[in-house]
Amino acid sequence: MENCGSKSTILNRSIVVKEQRADGCRCLNLRHLRFALMGFERNYQIRIPSNHLNTWIRSYTSLSTSPADFSTCESTGSLYEVNLNPWFLTGFSDAESNFIVRIVKSNSVKVGWTVQPLFQIGLHNKDLNLLKKIKAFWGVGDIYLKENSCNYMVQSLRDLNIIVNHFEKYPLLTKKREDYLLFSQIITLMNQRKHLTLSGLHEIVSLKASMNLGRISTLLKLAFPNIIPAIRPKRSDEEVLNSIINPYWMVGFTAGEGCFSIRITKSSTTKIGFQVQLRFQITQYSIDKVLMNSLVNFWGCGKLFFSFRGNKVDFQILKINDLIDKVIPFFQSMSLQGVKSKDFADFCKAVEIMKVKGHLTKKGLDQLNKLKVAMNTGRK
């Protein structure tokens, strides 16, 4: 994928950190991209992390004091207002978040097991500032640092209710929505204190057995041998295909899963001996192929490419006119967040070189190659 692939690092059983691929900005005069700005609510509770995360270094300076990042909230001097749209958070969560439920043996409760739900977003530390903005937006959770990774975690039941409330108002669109709905049922049961009863615990184990890849520890299997996984809440293909995609969702999803890349290959049909192709791309596993088809409707251009070996599907926009007329204006008018905005800025430079046929000259080709090697995974 021309050095723009997402790089995942598994730090332990439940923490996955993805190195980001690209980032950009917003849209003008695109009739198919109509949207309404929507307000959002914020709460400010902060909880102390549990002991099992003590291998991470907590970022106590997790809210930037730079005016460029935040402006002071009028209602309180202790937190900072951020310019994140709630739909951006949903799109980015569709790309980068995880809903996890741990069920751990414990002698401190009568049922003998404690339930530990967790919402997390794990990124490369290049995007630490973006995690700080996300934390400030929701006003809950903590950021932990480890080597080249940063992880935003929300663990307390009170704080997780804020996360659930967000996704009820601004629903996820990918298959991750199914995991969220199971997760939210567990949160509801815990709000009702049913996790402290044997029947409620059985229901939670059943819901957990259907989440993510249905992974359950050997200990849980032995303790609950007769548990039947709950039915996953699914949407019809028609419903997914007709999903209304908010432009801010697209910006957030692109910040997590998108890629702006420059491809330079040898060619016998050009005088300079090389061919240049610019590409905007979003990649997902094939289970979301129906949603990926809806991206074609959203943009009014582009195609899907399937990789059966990797079980993935790519949405790509390759035509230079579509990049100039649709992609560039959209992200210039709807500010991308995080390190990917830098890749988008370099991508815009590449488009300008292509517009004046600079790619057909040695000077222009050299400029494009310098941009290419410094983008995405090559960015330091």
Domain ranges of the chain: 248-378
Helix, strand, or coil here: 117? strand
Q: Is the pLDDT of residue 32 over 50?
A: no
Of residues 4 and 296, more confidence is placed in 296
From 152, 156, 146, select the one nearest 129 (Cα to Cα). 152
Q: Is the pLDDT of residue 314 over 60?
A: yes
Alpha-helix runs per DSSP H in 170-271? 176-191, 198-208, 218-223, 237-241, 247-257
31, two tokens = 């009739």
Mean pLDDT over each residue of the chain, to the nearest integer: 81
- 262 contacts: CB under 8 Å, gap ≥ 6: 2, 276, 277, 278, 279, 347, 350, 368, 371, 372, 375
Question: Cβ(14)–Cβ(118) under 8 Å?
Answer: yes
Q: Is the pLDDT of residue 24 over 70?
A: no
Mean pLDDT lowest among 28-32, 306-310, 314-318: 28-32
Mean pLDDT lowest among 58-62, 65-69, 116-120, 154-158: 65-69
pLDDT tens digits for range 108-167: 999 999 999 999 999 999 999 999 999 999 999 999 998 889 999 999 999 999 999 999
pLDDT at 11: 45
Among 81-85, 95-99, 352-356, the range with the most confident prediction by mean pLDDT is 95-99
Of residues 8 and 70, more confidence is placed in 8
Average pLDDT over every residue of 344-355: 92
Of residues 360 and 93, more confidence is placed in 93
Q: What percent of the chain has pLDDT over 90?
A: 62
Query: Would you give the DSSP letter of residue 194?
Result: G
319, two tokens = 């035509």
pLDDT at 4: 60
Average pLDDT over every residue of 208-225: 90
| Residue 34: pLDDT band with limits 50, 70, 90 | very low
- Tell me what percent of the chain is helix, strand and coil, each rounded to the nearest 5: 40, 20, 40
pLDDT at 82: 62
CATH number of this structure's domain 248-378: 3.10.28.10
pLDDT tens digits for range 269-286: 888 888 889 999 999 999
Q: Is the pLDDT of residue 67 over 80?
A: no
Average pLDDT over every residue of 79-99: 87
- 285 contacts: CB under 8 Å, gap ≥ 6: 311, 312, 313
From 12, 22, 191, 213, select the one nearest 99 (Cα to Cα). 213
User: How far apart are the C-alpha atoms of 325 and 221, rounded to whole Å?
Assistant: 55
* Beta strand extents in 286-341 (DSSP E only): 303-307, 312-317
User: How far apart are the C-alpha atoms of 328 and 326, rounded to whole Å?
Assistant: 6
| Residue 72: pLDDT band with limits 50, 70, 90 | very low
Query: Would you give the DSSP letter of residue 246?
Result: -
